[in-house]
Amino acid sequence: MKSTEYMVDTNVIIRYLLADHPEFFERSRVFMNEVKVGKIQALIPECVIAECVYILLKIYNIPRREIAEKLSGILKYRGVITPQREDLIQALLLFAQKNIDIVDAIVLVIGSKENRQPFSFDKDLKT
């Protein structure tokens, strides 16, 4: 029998990382610990990673490097089944190393991997 696969929402990751709401933190901790060891499988879409970055950076003022480390760590959990996991980890690294928007970092990483030049009016991606 196939186990249930979950689609993880941003608020679960935020509560898990910040532990700022006792009930939601405990529920997210139990869930994420099961994902960590592969007991359950969870898809974390790139839009959720991007939203987590924005919330942690803009609302909670968490440093870029810490955000990248925490989210990359979660993406490496055994039960995470995100297809672009390695691309997202590389984009988070780029986001931490340079003053670049997370979405721009994702565009650069995936575009580079697929041998595509970025076409954008953003100064970070300007062609």
pLDDT tens string 96-122: 998 899 999 999 998 888 777 777 677
Cα 42-70-23 angle, rounded to 5 deg: 65
pTM for the whole thing? Answer: 0.90
Residues 46-55 have pLDDT tens digits of: 999 999 999 9
| Distance in angstroms (rounded) separating the CA atoms of residues 52 and 11 | 8
pLDDT at position 99 is: 85
- Residue among 48, 41, 40 at smallest CA distance from 11: 48
User: Which tokens go with 55?
Assistant: 């919330």
